[in-house]
Structure 1
C-alpha cells in the first residue's frame, strides 16, 4: 500500500508588522510640543489682552492701583447704566426681529416653492459676506435725515438716527443667521407629516404651530442665541447709523478709550461686556448641545 503524499504546504504571506507607537520620551515630548504650541499662541493672542484689560480696570487714569474704586465710579455713572440697558435692549429687539423675519423667509422658501427661490437663498447667503457698515449706509440713503424717503415725506420717516434705525439695520444684516439654520432644519422635516395633518383637517397655521414648530425649535433657539450674541457686540452698525442718541457698550468703550483716553473706565466697561458676551455664549452652547442631543 503506497502512502498518500501530503499536499504541499503553502507559505503564509508575510504581513508587515504594524508600526509600533512611539511611547518613549521622544514621542511624548513631540506630543507635548504639539499641544503647547497652540496654547502659547492662544494665550499670547487672547489670554494676555484679557488679563491686561481686567487688571487695568482696578487702576485709575494714571495707572495707579485703586482697588474697586474705578468700578464703583463707572457703574455708578447713569450714562454707563443707560448704555448697558440700551445694549441689551437693542440686542433683544434685533434678535426678535431676526427670528420673526428669518422664520417667515425660511418657511416660504422651504414650503412654498416658486421660481427663483434658489437665487434668493444665494442672495441671503451673500449678505453675510458683506461688511456690516454697508447696511446702515444703504438704509441711510433711503431713510436717513437727508435720504430719499425723508425728503419725499417731509422728514417724517427719518428714523435712522434712532434706536429704530439701529434695530432695522441689525435685523437686515443678521437675519441670514436665522434663515440658514432653519432652511437646513426644514429640509430634514418629513413632508409626510404635513400631508397627514392636512388630511385630518388641520389648517396651515395649525400645521405650522403644532407639527413643524416643535421639530425645528432647537435650530431656531440656537440661531436666536447666536444672533443675540452677535448683536450684543455690534459696533460698526451702531457707529455708521450716526444715531447720536444711541450709546451702546461698544460705542462707550470706544469713546472712553480712544476719544477720552480714560483706559481705566474703558477696561471696566470692556470687562462688563466680556461677562455679558460669555453669558450669551454659554446660553448659545447650551441650546446647541440640546439641539445635538435631539438628533439635529
Structure 2
C-alpha cells in the first residue's frame, strides 16, 4: 500500500505547515537614502553642459555686444556711444517707425485674425478643417517667402500692374506701394495673422456651444452673440496672440529688407546698416541693446498674458 495511506487523519503536527499554508515572504529592508550632497551632485553635473552651451552660444556674444556699446574699441567714455546714438535723428526715426509699424501690424492681425477664426470655427463650409490645418503649416513658412509672393502680385512688374497695363495701356501700373511703409505693413499683417488665429481656434474649440444655442434661442443677433458670448471667451487668446505678434513685429528684419522699402528704417535695419554698411559697431551695438531691452520687456508681458490665458 502507499505510504500516504498509512498516515492517520488529523491536524498536522505542531511546527509543521499544511500545503495550503504559504510562508510569508521575507520583508526587504528599505533602501538607504543617500546624503543630500551625494543626491544633488549628479543633477548639478547634468545641468553644466546645457548651461555651458547657452553661455558660449548666446550669453557670451550678448555680453560682447553690451561691452562694445559701453566701452567701444575706438575709445571714449562708458556712455558716449549711447549719447551720440540717442541724439541722432536716424535712431529716433528708426525707433518711431519700429514702434508704429509693430503696433499697427498687431492691431491689423488681431482684427483680421479674429474675423477669419470666427468664420472657420462657427460658419460651416466645405474644407474648414483643411484650412485650419493649413494655418498650422503656414506658421512654419519664412517671412521672406510671403514678401516674395506679394512682390509677384503687387511688384513693379507684378501681376497686378501687368493686368492693368494690358487693360488700360501705359508704361506701368499704379501699384507701387510695396516699397512704402504701407507695403511693409501689409506684408507683416499677411504673415503674422495666423499667429493670432492659432490660439483663437484653440479657444473656440473649447467654447460650450450650448451658450450659443441658448443666446440664439433667446433671439440674440449674431453681432450680439459675438460681443457678449464669444468675445469674452476669446480675450485671453487675443491677448496672448497679440503680445506674441507685437514681439515678432518689433524684431522683423526679412520683410523690411525684401520689400525694398528704402525709406523704411526699423531698429533691426538700423543695426544692419550701422554694422555692415558703415562699420560703426558701437552705434550698431547701442541700437541692438535698445532693441533687445524692448524685446525682453514685451516677451515678459507675453509670458504673463500667456499664463493667464492658459497658453
**TM-score normalised by structure 2 residue count:** 0.87
Q: For 1:51, which of 59, 63, 66 is the aligned residue? A: 63
The equivalent of 1:70 in structure 2 is 81
Between the aligned partners of 2:107 and 2:28, the Cα distance in structure 1 is 62
- Check if 1:251 corresponds to 2:263: no
In structure 2, do the counterparts of structure 1 residues 24 and 70 end up closer, same or farther at CA, with 3 Å as the change threshold? closer
- Aligned equivalents of 2:30 and 2:199: distance in 1? 44
2:281 is matched with which residue: 249, 263, 266?
A: 263
Deviation at 1:53, TM superposition (A): 0.7
Alpha-carbon offset, residue 21 of structure 1: 4.5
Q: Find 2:51's aligned residue among 22, 36, 39.
A: 39
Q: Where does residue 131 of structure 1 map in the other structure?
A: 142
Bigger radius of gyration, 1 or 2? 2
Partner of 2:185: 167
CA apart distance, 1:252: 0.7
How far apart are residue 138 of structure 1 and its match?
A: 0.9
How much has 1:249 moved relative to structure 2?
0.4
* Residue 105 (structure 1) shift: 1.1
* 1:107 matches 2:118: yes
In the alignment, the residues of structure 2 paired with residue 16 and residue 128 of structure 1 have an alpha-carbon distance, to the nearest angstrom, of 55
Q: How does 1:87-102 map to 2 (within 5 A)?
A: 87-102=98-113
Q: Distance in 2 between matches of 1:89 and 1:24?
A: 54
Q: CA deviation at 1:63?
A: 3.7
Aligned-residue CA RMSD in angstroms?
A: 2.1
CA offsets 1:6-63 (integer angstroms, 9 cap, x no match)? 9855322346566544436544322211122222221222111111111111234x44
The correspondence of residues 213-228 of structure 1 with structure 2, limited to 5 A, is 213-228=231-246
**Residues 58, 67 of structure 1: 8 Å contact kept:** yes
* Matched pairs, number: 291
Q: Which of 200, 203, 208 is the equivalent residue of 1:185?
A: 203
Counterpart contact for 1:95–1:227, Cα < 8 Å: yes
Work out the CA distance in 2 between the residues paired with 1:241 and 1:290: 37
**CA positional deviation for 1:96:** 1.1
The equivalent residue for 1:82 is 93
TM (norm. structure 1) is 0.91
Cα distance in 1 for residues equivalent to 2:186 and 2:238: 20
Q: Distance in 1 between matches of 2:36 and 2:111?
A: 59
- Corresponding position of 1:198: 216
- Please give the secondary structure, in 1, of the residue aligned with 2:70: coil
Q: Does structure 2 retain, via aligned residues, the 8 Å contact 1:136–1:241? A: yes
User: CA distance change for structure 1 residues 71 and 190 in 2, over 3 Å: closer, same or farther?
Assistant: same
Other-structure match for 1:209: 227
Indicate yes or no: 2:292 matched with 1:280. Answer: no
8 Å contact kept, 1:58–1:65: no
